[in-house]
Amino acid sequence: MKNQEIVGSFYSLANNPVGKPCIVYVHSSHGCRIENLAMIHKIIPDFTFCVYDIAARGLSGGIYLTYGHQEWNDLSGIIDCLKTKYHTEEFFLWGRDIGACAVIKFARYNNDRKDILGLCLDSPFSKFEDYVRIFLIFRQNPF
Q: What is the pLDDT of residues 73-120, one digit of tens each?
A: 889 889 999 999 989 999 999 998 888 889 988 998 998 999 999 999
Q: What is the pTM of this model?
A: 0.81
In whole angstroms, give the CA distance from residue 66 to residue 143: 25
Q: Is residue 2 in a domain?
A: no
Per the structure, the complete domain to which residue 52 belongs is given by 8-140
For residue 98, give the CATH number of its domain.
3.40.50.1820
Q: Is residue 120 in a domain?
A: yes
Q: State the first-to-last Cα distance of the chain, in angstroms, to the nearest integer.
A: 33
Q: Give the model's confidence band at 128: pLDDT under 50 very low, under 70 low, under 90 confident, else very high.
A: low
For residue 103, the model assigns a pLDDT of 92
Q: Give the model's confidence band at 6: pLDDT under 50 very low, under 70 low, under 90 confident, else very high.
A: confident
Does pLDDT of 40 surpass 90? Answer: no
In whole angstroms, give the CA distance from residue 70 to residue 78: 14
Least Cα distance to 49 among 58, 41, 61, 57 occurs for 41
Q: What is the pLDDT of residues 10-19, one digit of tens each?
A: 888 777 777 7
Cα separations (Å) of 132 from 66, 126, 127, 137?
A: 12, 11, 9, 9
Whether the CA torsion 41, 88, 102, 94 is positive or negative: it is: negative
| Helix, strand and coil in the chain, % to nearest 5 | 35, 20, 45
Q: Is residue 34 in a domain?
A: yes
Question: What value does the mean pLDDT of the chain take?
Answer: 81
Does pLDDT of 72 surpass 80? Answer: yes
Does pLDDT of 140 surpass 70? Answer: no
Number of domains in the chain: 1
Q: Is residue 1 in a domain?
A: no
Q: Is residue 3 in a domain?
A: no
